[in-house]
Structure 1
Amino acid sequence: MKLSYVFDAYCGWSYGFADTMRRIAAGHPELPVEVVSGGLFTGDRRRPIGAFGYVQGSNAKIAELTGAVFGDAYERLVADGSFVMDSEDAARGMAALRQAAPGRAVELAAALQGAFYRDGLSLSDPATYRRLAEAHGLDADRVVAAFTAPASRAAAGADFARAAALRVDAYPTLLAVDGDHVRLLARGHATAEEVERRLATVLTGN
């Protein structure tokens, strides 16, 4: 069995779920974790952040429920309203980080979200991935090269296809996958304790 974690780096609820996901992964080192990028802001949803009028209210709710901190640099992006969130670029970046350190995908997914939601950095900018790689002891040149390579678009597409195959259309979603058997552990907000209870049911076969 493995855990499949489908998130979007530009999804505030995924950002709020990051601590829960870290705790679950750390508590179950015996379970491989597949980190999959969703495609929340692609196609005609790839618009300036100001076009999504619900963002500030949603962020307040996320902070209240999860304790997630939204940084001043990010808040300035929201106030300006012109920043465009591109989930394909974010997925390309996640693929590059995952390729550099497959066993640290959960940690790096959280770091990727922190770069946007705390530091206000664009996930379309190669400099963001250089900074993340250096901060996490990865080969920065290799990560940037992987992000900018044409193959990164195929990697993003593969993630979107995997999310679709898992029938995930809301982020974050955490699944327990055992062959053809898929059990839902979390969709949207969930505490680590809630996920642990559901996971225990799966592991014990009850």
Structure 2
Amino acid sequence: MKLIYVFDAYCGWSYGFAPTLAEITARHPELPVEVVSGGLFTGPRAVPVREFGYIQGANAQIGERTGVTFGAAYERLIADGSFVMDSLDAARGVAVLRQAAPERAVQLAMDVQTAFYRDGLSLSAADTFARIAAAAGLDPAAVRAAFDAPAARHAAEADFRRAAELGVTAYPTLLVQDGARLAVLAVGHAEPDPIDTLLKRFGAGAGS
């Protein structure tokens, strides 16, 4: 049995889901977690944030419902509306970090979102992922080089295909898989206890 977490690093609701995800993984350390990047802002949707007039209002709602905070550096980054959120670049970085420390994929995915939403760092910059790597005790030079390699793009595109195969159309989505059985535990915002209840019904150990 394992959990599958499908998120987008540029998705505010995914950022807001981090406390719940952290709690669920702490309660169930026996469950491996597959972290998959979705492609929320790719192709024609990779445009300046001014094209998405709802972002500030959505962020306020996310903060109110989940308790996460949006940093001043992030607010400055998006203030003039010119910043482009490119989910392909973000997924490349997530894939590189995941490859560097597979067993820490969940924490690294959350670190990527913190780098953007708190620290105002672009997820299209190799230096951002090198900085995350250094803070996590990984090799920043290796991560920086891997970010620019073709394999990172291939891994990101594979993630997008995986998300589609899983039938995920909204982020974040948390699933549980046991052999051929697959069930959705949460989409968007959710609290830990209802997810835990569903996990127990699925056969996961209670808090083990």
Q: Does the alignment reach a TM-score above 0.5?
A: yes
Query: What are the Cα deviations for residues 129-186 of structure 1, in whole angstroms up to 9, with x where unaligned?
Result: 1110111100111111111111111000110011011000100000001122111100
Do structure 1's residue 53 and structure 2's residue 53 form an aligned pair? Answer: yes
What is aligned with 2:86?
Answer: 86
Post-superposition Cα deviations, 1:23-47, rounded to whole Å, max 9, x if no partner, equal 1112111111000000000010000
Structure 1 residue ranges (4+ consecutive) displaced by more than 6 angstroms after TM superposition: none
Q: Does 1:104 align with 2:104?
A: yes
SS of the residue aligned with 1:176?
A: strand
Instruction: Please provide the CA RMSD for this pair.
Output: 1.2
Structure 1 match to 2:197: 197
Deviations 1:81-139 (A, max 9, x none): 10000000000000000001000011000000000000110001011011101111001
Equivalent pairs counted in the alignment come to 205
Partner of 2:117: 117
Matches for 1:132-171 after TM superposition, within 5 Å: 132-171=132-171
- When normalised by structure 2's length, the TM-score is 0.96
The 10-residue stretch of structure 1 (40-49 or 18-27) with the greater mean CA deviation from structure 2: 18-27
Letter in structure 2 aligned against 1:185: L
5+ residue gaps, structure 2, are none
Percent identical:
65
The SS at the match of 2:161 is: helix
TM-score by length of 1: 0.97
Unpaired runs of at least 5, structure 1: none
